Amino acid sequence: MTTTNPSQTPRPSVFTARRQFIQLGLAAVGAVWLGTWLQSLLFPSQNTSQAAQPVSFPLADLPVGGTKAISYGGLPVLVLRTPEDLRAFSLVCTHLGCTVQWQAGGKEFYCPCHGGRYDEFGDVLSGPPPIPLEQIPVQVKGQTVTVGEM
Ligand code: FES
């Protein structure tokens, strides 16, 4: 029978410890990058509203029943004017970020990437999108429409 003296147990070499330290550091950097990427994917409104400046245009540019495409914070946004109100939505799909398309006939947004569908209020109708489209605030003062936080 062989006995092992605890003082003779092999210790990790300096190179093994250094390699483990580097691997741990790379894993930590990867985890931070992944967390940041997921946050921007899942919560695009935080990125949009922090960097975006309000966009204004004449109310006459948007007749009742019409739509107007604008860029807000560098992202595509569609403003809808119904007989009741004006609404603005980010056209960035909440699934994987494709650009959704407004389909006036069906009064819904359609994502061509994976078939996601949203209603005219931005709520998910079907498909993989996990949350509604981001709604952007809209104000009408006089004859001017302003989209975005003021
Ligand atoms: S990216 Fe829109 S449904 Fe997948």
Report pLDDT for 95.
98
Q: Say yes or no: 141 and 96 in one domain.
A: yes
Residues 57 and 90 in one domain: yes
Residues 95 and 75 both lie in one domain: yes
Chunked mean pLDDT (size 10), the chain, 150 residues: 56 70 69 62 53 92 96 96 96 98 96 98 98 97 94
Locate the ligand 1 atom nearest the alpha carbon of residue 94 and give its number: 2
**Residue 1 counted as domain residue:** no
Could you tell me if 16 and 35 lie in one domain? yes
pLDDT in tens, 84-98: 999 999 999 999 999
Q: Among 93, 108, 109, which is best to mutate for testing ligand 1, by the most ligand atoms less than 8 A from CB? A: 93
Are both 104 and 35 inside the same structural domain? no
Q: Which of ligand 1's atoms lies nearest the C-alpha of 97? A: 1
Whether 110 is covered by a domain: the verdict is: yes
d(CA 78, ligand 1 centre) in Å:
17
Query: How distant is the alpha carbon of residue 111 from its chain centre?
Result: 14
Query: Which residue has the least CA distance to atom 1 on ligand 1?
Result: 96
> pTM for the whole thing?
0.68
**Residue 134's domain spans which residues?**
50-147
- How many domains would you assign to the chain? 2
Give domain status of residue 27, yes or no: yes
